[in-house]
Amino acid sequence: MRFIVLGLALAVSAPAFAKKPPTVQLNCIKLSDYKTEAERKYLDKASGGGDIYTVDITFIGKKPDNKTTDKVLRGCIDVAVKMDSNKDILGNAWFRKKAGANPYDDDQINLYGGMKYISYKAATKKVEVNDLLPLKKK
């Protein structure tokens, strides 16, 4: 019985041991009026992604307007493209109310609207705002 319970506990906790995606801190656009953090993560199948990068920009303490957010996001995507232009890159912007707060409580900034996203496509070598399309039924 002890082995069954141990096996069940390991199976349930397996997601907690999932491979954490490799993360690189980005040194990209810095604005004197804003405190920001920027990082690039590689998401492969083992980490829950599909062979892409994400660029996450977090504004801390002061929420920027959409124009400022777009400028910073595009600048940081450009830095990530220079590091590796062979993979697609999805850009995300976040707002954290105060330094030291839990990052899981950050609010996503949807500057293009709720059904749009910005990304770099390796096939076209362009950064574009795209519509989020529903999955097609097979």
Q: Dump pLDDT digits (tens) for 18-43.
A: 556 689 999 998 888 999 999 999 98
Percent of the chain with pLDDT over 90: 66
Residue 37 has what pLDDT?
A: 95
Reduced DSSP (H G I as helix, E B as strand, rest coil) percent helix, strand, coil of the chain, to 5: 30, 30, 40
pLDDT tens-digit series, residues 71-114: 999 999 999 999 999 999 999 999 999 999 999 999 999 999 88
Q: Who's near 62: CB < 8 A, 6+ residues apart?
A: 33, 34, 35
Residue 5 has what pLDDT?
A: 33
Element (DSSP H or E) covering residue 24: strand 23-25
Say yes or no to pLDDT of 4 above 80.
no
d(CA 74, CA 60): 18
> Residue 119's closest CA among 109, 111, 130?
130
More confident position, 70 or 138: 70
Radius of gyration of the chain (CA): 18
Residue 19 has what pLDDT?
A: 56
Residue 10 has what pLDDT?
A: 34
The mean pLDDT of the chain is 84
